[in-house]
Structure 1
Amino acid sequence: MPEPWLPGADIHDLGDHAPTDQQYPPKAIAHITWDRNATAAAPQDWCTYEDLVSYFTGSGAGNAPHLVWDPFSGRTTQLFPADSRSKSLLSPDRSPTRTNRAGRVVIQIEAVFFPYCRYRGRVYPRLVDTPCAGWDRIHGWIASWGVPDVWPMGRPTDFRDHRDEHVWETSGGWYAHAHVPYNDHTDPGSWPDLAPGSGSPDSPPSRQHPAPPADQAPARYQVSINGLPYGYGAQGYQVTAVGRALVARGFGSHYHSGPGPTWTDADTENYADYQASLGYSGQAADGVPGEGSLNRLLGYLPGQRTVSVSHLVAAARSDPGAEQGHRTHGAEVAIVEQALADEGLLEQRWVDGSFGSRTLAAYASWQRRCGYEAGAADGIPGQSSLHRLGAARGFAVTD
């Protein structure tokens, strides 16, 4: 099954997932944000990607697409999984279809762009005049969901509308917002080519090493999940955590040494085996993590190596008495658990983001190692002991 979340995207899940109408063919809908009105004679400064993400995760959530895409840097934020409807289309009662749901998938992309925007001193009349960075990655992921590489109503080249209810209901492929029946927007005006390899040569760093065919060398590109890199050459504690979890699950056959903090071909091959065990195939099983498979492997998504004393205290007081595997601030707990495992105080299999009884006992052992006794070594993290563990194992501590 394809990944429901675009590999490498920043995830801001809005919730409120809803199924699509499966009797219609799969579609992708092309939008631009068109948040300012500029002209050739009066260009305006580009409205930033961060501003649009903030809008769609705040007051604009009722109009949110699946993807918010920065065509200048390749950054992408995803707000709904691919198999849910999103909300960027009008769907009035008189429409024969629920437009946001009219397909096996109806994946909607908002490019952060308006005509004649000025970016770093240069004016861009059309979306296709931008670098279109990251387009290949988005296109390949949408194709994995069965959306054909065709424009049933023609590739957009201007801002005129062309709407045909019969074509909309019967033909899968790519549609401009200007093509959707019972809508009044005429964007995007242009869109990158659907031909393979049509993305900008200025692809973002996460795609500087495109994935090779499955019968050749292991994939050598990186993605960023929750702000941390994964894939060939990535470094950090999260790489070690993935490798150890793969070994614990029985997917470590390609390691000759390790796992360690640098992602090698062996990590890629082991992760590909794990993806295949989940039923993924093709590029979705190339050995580079997606958010969904990573969450299933670890039970949490690793984050930057900063933990809060108050969060750890809350977890230590809540998780042991909750149901098995309950996670309070799981990403931060996992950082501390990995540190305790590296200190030889916790078995690796219990590095799971849940501050359960074994983690509590391990932290109490750390407190005793720090010289605390009796009630001061109760397993509840304190400022001093947590700062000492962070200093020993390379993570920062806040209040």
Structure 2
Amino acid sequence: MATPPTASTFAALLRAEGVTVVEVGDWETHNRNSRGPWGPVHGVMIHHTVTKGTDATVKICRDGYTALPGPLCHGVIAKDGRVHLVGYGRANHAGLGDPDVLAAVIAEHKAPADDEASVDGNRHFYGFECENLGDGQDPWPAKQVDAIVRVAAALVRHHGWTALSVIGHLEWQPGKVDPRGFGMDWLRGKVADRLAAGKPTTTLPAPGKPVVDLSKLVAAARSNPKASGTPVTYPGVKTVEAALVDGGFLAKVYLDGHFGTTTVTAYAKWQRHLGYSGTAADGIPGRASLTELGKKYGFTVTA
């Protein structure tokens, strides 16, 4: 039983294991949490995508489709070994599975054959989709396999689990065949070898202050007239919103990455707090006011 780490820690764990991480849009808050809880987590589930082409694969895993909305996993492991983070939280990847398999994963025992589908796997597993046609012929490049091992090892290591906490979708839900092209016992063996080698020696640099691009922020503020809605893909919006929340200018419920009318109103309060008035306090960020906000709440400003 384990509580998932924060999204930023999740990404840091993968990077510390030597994984090349690509952060896709608003992945940190893109999830299906409104449809049910996520956690406690008990293991890592590996899938193949039945798709070709990294860009198309990442898009469908992030967005999903009509019958199954995205995200369809937490990370997409591409042929070149890069891991594209597309969501964090509850994701539509595991579906219902066998309670005996879940019990075995929790107990760190070899899982029995799956013959039932009655337990919510989306709640209890990290999910990684691997770019592969799943026909048994599409190759698994060494870089991709290495990334799968590193991703699994990073999370197993963090939670203090063993390699028996790593399973394939085919071991969870009757009728599933993924991942096809290698055996899960073989993969668990490689994960176990990596864990036995000790913690990676990669030293992560100390996190610097977030950087907010003024021009991108202004564009976001001018293009989102509604109070709230679909978050924009520029993460600097959330940085500024968090500062406004910390300062008491914006309610936390609006910390959603959407620079709509409510955030504009909150920013106008900040501008008036600084002594501005008239068009200088219209809620659209200017360099001087944004720089002052960054000084007080811990971010820097660029053009």
The alignment's TM-score, normalised by the length of structure 2, stands at 0.54
1:176 aligns with 2:168: yes
User: 1:111 and 1:135 mapped to 2: Cα distance?
Assistant: 12
State the 1:131 CA deviation: 5.9
Q: Which runs of 5+ in 1 are unaligned?
A: 36-45, 118-122, 151-172, 199-209, 213-218, 222-230, 242-301, 320-328, 339-345, 366-373
Q: CA RMSD in A?
A: 5.0
Q: Which runs of 5+ in 2 are unaligned?
A: 13-20, 99-114, 229-233, 256-262, 293-299
Residues 71 and 135 in structure 1, CA contact (< 8 A), matched pair in contact too: no
Residues 97 and 172 in structure 2, CA contact (< 8 A), matched pair in contact too: no
With CA pairs under 8 Å and 6+ residues apart, which has the higher RCO, 1 or 2?
A: 2
SS at match of 2:147: coil
> Alignment partner for residue 140 of structure 1, among 154, 176, 182?
154
Residues 249 and 267 in structure 2, CA contact (< 8 A), matched pair in contact too: no
User: 2:247 and 2:39 mapped to 1: Cα distance?
Assistant: 42
SS at match of 1:107: strand
State the 1:175 CA deviation: 2.2
- Change in Cα spacing, 1:76 to 1:303, as seen in structure 2 (3 Å) is farther
Residue-pair matches, total:
232
Greater C-alpha radius of gyration: 1
Name the residue aligned to 1:251.
none
Identity %: 9
The alignment's TM-score, normalised by the length of structure 1, stands at 0.43
What do residues 30-88 of structure 1 show as CA deviations (whole Å, max 9, x unaligned)?
A: 211132xxxxxxxxxx511x31121123343447233322252422314242xx46334
**Which structure features the higher share of helix residues?**
2
SS at match of 1:14: coil
Residues 91 and 99 in structure 1, CA contact (< 8 A), matched pair in contact too: yes
SS at match of 1:3: coil
> Alignment partner for residue 218 of structure 2, among 269, 287, 309?
309
SS at match of 1:195: helix
What do residues 291-330 of structure 1 show as CA deviations (whole Å, max 9, x unaligned)?
A: xxxxxxxxxxx665543436446999979xxxxxxxxx99
User: 2:240 and 2:38 mapped to 1: Cα distance?
Assistant: 38
Written as runs of structure 1 = structure 2, the 5 A alignment for 1:1-399 is 1-5=3-7, 6-8=10-12, 10=23, 11=27, 13-15=30-32, 16-19=34-37, 26-35=42-51, 46-48=52-54, 50-60=55-65, 61-62=68-69, 64-81=72-89, 84=90, 86-89=92-95, 96-101=116-121, 105-114=124-133, 125-126=139-140, 128=142, 130=144, 132-133=146-147, 135-145=149-159, 147-150=161-164, 173-190=165-182, 192=187, 193-197=190-194, 220-221=203-204, 231-232=205-206, 239-240=208-209, 306-309=215-218, 311-312=220-221, 331-332=236-237, 334=239, 355=266, 359-362=270-273, 364-365=275-276, 375-377=278-280, 379-381=281-283, 386=286, 395-396=302-303
SS at match of 2:286: helix
- Change in Cα spacing, 1:74 to 1:31, as seen in structure 2 (3 Å) is same
User: 2:267 and 2:145 mapped to 1: Cα distance?
Assistant: 49
Aligned residue identity for 1:395: T
User: 2:172 and 2:157 mapped to 1: Cα distance?
Assistant: 20
Name the residue aligned to 1:249.
none
